[in-house]
Structure formats: structure tokens, C-alpha cells
Amino acid sequence: MERDLLIQEVLRLKAERQAVILAHSYQLPEVQEVADFVGDSLGLAREAQRTKAKVIVFAGVHFMAETAAILNPEKTVLLPDLEAGCSLADSIRPEDILAWKQDHPEGIVVAYVNTKAEVKALADVCVTSANAVEVVARLPKDRPIFFVPDMFLGAHVARVTGRKLDLFPGECHVHAGIREEHLKALLEKHPGAEFMIHPECGCGSSCLFLKPDAKMLSTEGMVRYAKKADAKEFVVATEVGILHRLSKEAPEKTFIPVKPDAICEYMKRITLEKVYLSLKEMRHVIRVPEEVAQKARRALEAMVAVG
């Protein structure tokens, strides 16, 4: 089916199903263009709660669709490709949380939203890169904190809040692949550009050393900052899918990826055709067992309420 007809069919089926399409900023441009809302994990979770639609088509990865299903048990949540997973979410198991809790019975578990439902169910609170600093800053100072699973985001949170955190050694394979040498090359090529770095990046600390005025920002933070900043040129360290949205929302500005091949193959599994088939055939419905969802819901609702 040709692209224009595919778009028409997606829009027709969306109306017929009383559906909404939510897309992450790392999605393919053609998927972002048919979405009703494009944003980061926090924005998408809030939009999923807010929508009156009966069906949510989640153009993102599995843990995001799970989050929507947990927060909206009365709605049908569809994920166009069940293989759209996450290397970071796969890095941690419930047993890792339970082992830490056994050694720290008074401890607090802070789970990044990039985790599976079974991990969220064991957490005290969930966070996104947009509100992790604010959430951790509010936690009691006399209790140990286990931050899972992204060690680079956790190190950033510890640095900003001054809190001592136990960090799980997990990483996003895309962000971990953005290294100091990539930054150095762009610093020399674009000395006048503003640098925007995602806190999941493995180069975060070295970047702040190389360029102290670099901005550590979530994907949504990057969009907000780029729109209001005076600079006309930005170097961006995150998954390259964000460049489409940045260029669309700030068309008069130039955005340069630190690493042009920083591509999440899981995000890119969602295509326009799969969104169409998802709506046409109502596939694939994401369900979370209620005993897991009930526990995870508390941690997620605490996340959505902050920031």
C-alpha cells in the first residue's frame, strides 16, 4: 500500500476504533506524523491517563505500552510489534531488587520507567529522566536508595542531588555508545554550538568536564530548551529520532547528532504499516496481570504526579 493511502487508512481506522496514537520522540518520522501526541516517557504516561479514547496504539517499546496498560486498566492498549523491546529494561530482573531489599530492609527502590512491570511492582517510586532529580531530592535522607537500572542516569541524579545512591550497573546500548571521542570531534567542528546531552549517555561526566555549559536534558527537556534558546546551532547527544521533532518544532535552528548512527533498532521496529495493521487487526493487546499491575501502579502514579 502506498504511503498516502496508508496514512488515510490509519486515520480512518483510528476514528472507527475510537483510538489515539501515542508516539515516542525516537520513532520514525512517518510514525510521529500520524500520532496524536509525541513525547517522552513521562509525557506519554500522562497523555495515556488523560485520553478519553477507548484504544491506545502505543508507538514505542514494550515497557511503555505496559505502563499505559497499568495506568489504564479499562482501556485497550496495542503495541504494533511485540519485538519492540529495550536493552535497558532487559538488564534487570526482579531477583536483583529482592536481593538488595534483603540487605537493606529500610531501603527505597527508585526504578527508572525503562523497566518491566515486574520490576516496577517491587519499586517504591518510578521516575523518568525528566523528573528523576526532583523525585530523589524529595526522598528521606536517612534511608538507603537503590537506583535502577541505568547507572549513567543514576550517576547524574547523584551528582545533582548530592545524594549517595546504590546504582545498578545497567545501560541503554544506544546511549552507552555515545562516548567522549564523539563529543570532542563535535566540539572542534562546532565551537559555537549549544550541547544538549541525555543523562543516559555514558559520556555525561566527561562532557561536563569538556564543556561545562552543556545541558543535561531529557528528550522533552531538549525540545523545550531548543525552542526558547537564543542559539541557532545545537549538538544533540541522544537517539537520532529526536532530530525530526526538534527540526519540526524549531525549524529555524540546526541540530547536529553527536553520533549519527545512535539508532535504537527496537524503536525503529514500529513502522507506519505496523501501526495500520495494529488498528486493522487490533494487535497486539498488552495485558499485565492485575497482581503485578496493582503494585506497579502505585509507583507509576507517584512518578506521574511529580514535575
24 is in an annotated binding site: yes
Give yes or no for a cis peptide into 284 (omega within 30° of 0).
Answer: yes
CATH number at residue 70: 3.40.50.10800
pLDDT in the model for residue 33: 97
Q: Using one digit for the tens of pLDDT, what is the confidence trace for 75-98?
A: 999 999 999 999 999 999 999 999
Q: How confident is the model at residue 307 (pLDDT cuts 50, 70, 90)?
A: low
Is residue 300 included in any domain, yes or no?
Answer: no
Is residue 305 included in any domain, yes or no?
Answer: no
149 is in an annotated binding site: no
Is residue 304 included in any domain, yes or no?
Answer: no
pLDDT in the model for residue 202: 79
131 is in an annotated binding site: no
198 is in an annotated binding site: yes
Specify whether the CB–CB gap between 62 and 82 falls below 8 A.
Answer: yes
51 is in an annotated binding site: no
304 is in an annotated binding site: no
Q: 171, 189, 209 — which closes off a domain?
A: 171
Q: For the whole model, what pTM was predicted?
A: 0.92
pLDDT in the model for residue 90: 96
Q: How confident is the model at residue 181 (pLDDT cuts 50, 70, 90)?
A: confident
Kindly state whether residues 18 and 71 are assigned to the same domain.
yes
Kindly state whether residues 138 and 189 are assigned to the same domain.
no
H or E element in which residue 6 lies: helix 3-17
Q: Say if residue 1's pLDDT is above 90.
A: no
175 is in an annotated binding site: no
114 is in an annotated binding site: yes
Specify whether the CB–CB gap between 254 and 233 falls below 8 A.
Answer: yes
Question: Who's near 16: CB < 8 A, 6+ residues apart?
Answer: none
pLDDT in the model for residue 203: 72
Our count of domains for the chain comes to 3
Q: Using one digit for the tens of pLDDT, what is the confidence trace for 100-126?
A: 999 999 999 999 999 999 999 999 999
Is residue 299 included in any domain, yes or no?
Answer: no
112 is in an annotated binding site: yes
Which of 120-134, 177-191, 279-293 has the least mean pLDDT?
177-191
129 is in an annotated binding site: yes
Angstrom distance (rounded) from CA 68 to CA 74: 11
SS3 41: helix
Q: φ and ψ at 216, to 5 degrees?
A: -90, 110
Is residue 277 included in any domain, yes or no?
Answer: yes
Is residue 16 included in any domain, yes or no?
Answer: yes
128 is in an annotated binding site: no
Residue range(s) defining the domain that contains residue 128: 88-171
Q: Using one digit for the tens of pLDDT, what is the confidence trace for 202-220?
A: 776 667 777 788 899 999 9
Instruction: Characterize 276-288 residue by residue with b for buried, 16 or more Cβ atoms within 10 angstroms of its Cβ, and e for exposed.
Output: bbbbeeeebebeb
